[in-house]
Every structure is written in C-alpha cells, then in structure tokens.
Amino acid sequence: MGLLSSIVSFSVGYALAAKTGAAPIRRVRSGSARWGGRSVSSGALPRDVQVRDVMTAAPETVTLDATLTAAARLMAENDIGDVIVIEPGTERVAGIVTDRNITTRAVAEGRNPDTTTVEEIFSRDLVAAAPADSVRRVIDLMEDLKVRRLPVVEADRAVGIVSLGDLAVETNVGSALAEISAAAPDR
C-alpha cells in the first residue's frame, strides 16, 4: 500500500466542537489502527514514533472574529495552507480554516474578505491528535477522514499541527511526497 493510501486514519483522536463555550474536545474511540506503509530507509516505522516527533510545533492561529483577509495574509506570510481557529480570550481550539475554505466558502460566493469573519466559514467538526499519539494511528485516522492535516491539541490548546508532508518525511524517506515536503518554499 502506498503512502497516499496509507496516510490518513487514527483510532484514537479528539473530536472538536466549534460552538463558543461548548466543551471543545471529546475523546473518540474506534476500531484498531491499520498500517500498510513502509519506510524506504528502514523498512518499518519504529513503534515509539509519536506525533510530537513529527509535528510542526507552535502552529499559527486566528480568532473566530478575525477577517478572512487577516487569515489569508497569515497563510501567505508563513507559506502555509491553514490556520487553527481559537476562541477569543480562552485560546481553546474551535476548528480550522484553510485556503480552500476561503476560496470555496467565501470568494466563490462573492463575500468580501475584508468584512467576512473566520467564524462564518471555518471547518468546525474536526478531529485532532494528541502529542503522545502514535504516528501509525494518525496515519490511519487521516486516511479514514480523507484529510491532509490534523491539529495537535493538549488541554484544549493547539500545540502543533501534523500534515501528510510531515508524515511522508518521517515514514517514506525518498518518496516524491517526502522530497516535495522537505523542499524549501517555491516563491
């Protein structure tokens, strides 16, 4: 099984509710994790690799009341395709906004990015990983959910983000996705 078909599902994660004031995180349990990927360099993913070992720490965040222009500018300045959405004042994770959200839910509908807020278009029902979660389980989760990135959350706060590229660099050294993900930004 190839990396793209392997990267994506995880049997233990966090479901996040996006309503302000709601308890944002609940533990989700499902069936056993699947792993079909192999590392080109080592032949197998070490058992002890955790999300904290591959995630990007201190992810960029925006509050629910931020404008889409502010969120897009943050993405452009940091060469990223998403930012984690937090509740103002509490910094509790509420969801995620992606460049695709902005394009399809706002720009394509003719909304003004200077006046439309992140709260109006962000993805509310998302799943997140914990820093101590197994990379194998995160790969399975991302595959099941058909997502490219997962916030890493601890005590309701965003501590990192893990992407398909992060996982490819760790698990499939030498693969096209790993090489593209490890390359410097093309500006």
Q: Which residue has the higher pLDDT, 161 or 10?
A: 161
Which alpha helices (H) appear in the chain, and where do they start and end? 3-6, 51-54, 68-78, 99-105, 135-145, 164-171, 176-182
> What are 101-135's pLDDT values in tens digits?
999 999 999 999 999 999 999 999 888 999 999 98
The whole-number pLDDT of residue 168 equals 76
Q: b/e map of 84-119 (b: 16 or more CB within 10 Å)?
A: bbbbeeeebbbbbbbeebbeebbeeeeeebeebbbb
Distance CA 94, CA 164 (A): 22
For residue 72, the Cα-to-chain-centroid distance in whole angstroms is: 17
> What are 56-97's pLDDT values in tens digits?
999 999 999 999 999 999 999 999 999 999 999 999 999 999
Q: Which domains does the chain carry?
A: 3-180 (3.10.580.10)
> What are 4-63's pLDDT values in tens digits?
333 232 333 333 333 333 434 333 333 322 223 333 334 455 567 899 999 999 999 999
pTM of the model: 0.70
